[in-house]
């Protein structure tokens, strides 16, 4: 598995169409197929960390280590800047992951680095 900077082509391959919002992202690729995307996008004038991880990536042996490493690398892009994240209640462990990489719970599904 490799992780590289996302391109418009790779994001379109993964989502089926071009993203509607501006973002800076990375993609995980396994066997020439995009299996996950993580990055930043602007949402209501806030920088929001996001990820979209396929079941195929979740089943990968080094999945958790890869995700933590990717998030930490992304956060370092904007040192000192407030970064928001939304925990997905339907995804087991999403709150634990955000806490592990240094986010603090604000309210509801919203977290701040």
Q: What is the pLDDT of residue 105?
A: 92
What residue ranges define each of the domains in the chain, with the CATH number in brackets? 2-112 (3.40.630.30)
Cα 24 to chain centroid distance, Å, stands at: 10
- What the block records as the tokens of 70 is 């990717």
2-20: pLDDT as tens digits: 888 999 999 999 999 988 7
Please, are residues 78 and 43 in contact by the beta-carbon 8 Å criterion?
no
Q: Model's pTM, two decimal places?
A: 0.74
Q: In the chain, what percentage of residues exceed pLDDT 70?
A: 100
Cα 92 to chain centroid distance, Å, stands at: 15
Please, are residues 10 and 39 in contact by the beta-carbon 8 Å criterion?
no
66-91: pLDDT as tens digits: 777 777 777 777 777 787 888 887 87
Where is pLDDT greater, at 106 or 62? Answer: 106
* Contact partners, residue 72, CB within 8 Å, separation at least 6: 101
Where is pLDDT greater, at 72 or 54? Answer: 54
């Amino acid at each position: 598995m490799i992780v590289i900077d996302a391109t418009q082509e790779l994001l379109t391959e993964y989502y089926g169409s071009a993203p509607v919002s501006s973002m800076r992202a990375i993609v995980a690729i396994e066997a020439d197929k995009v299996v996950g995307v993580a990055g930043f996008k602007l949402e209501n004038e806030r920088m929001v960390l996001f990820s979209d991880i396929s079941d195929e990536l979740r089943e990968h042996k080094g999945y958790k280590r890869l995700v933590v490493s990717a998030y930490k690398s992304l956060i370092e892009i904007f040192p000192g800047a407030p970064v928001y994240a939304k925990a997905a209640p339907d995804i087991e462990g999403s709150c634990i992951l955000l806490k592990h990489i240094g986010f603090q719970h604000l309210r509801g599904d919203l977290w701040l680095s």
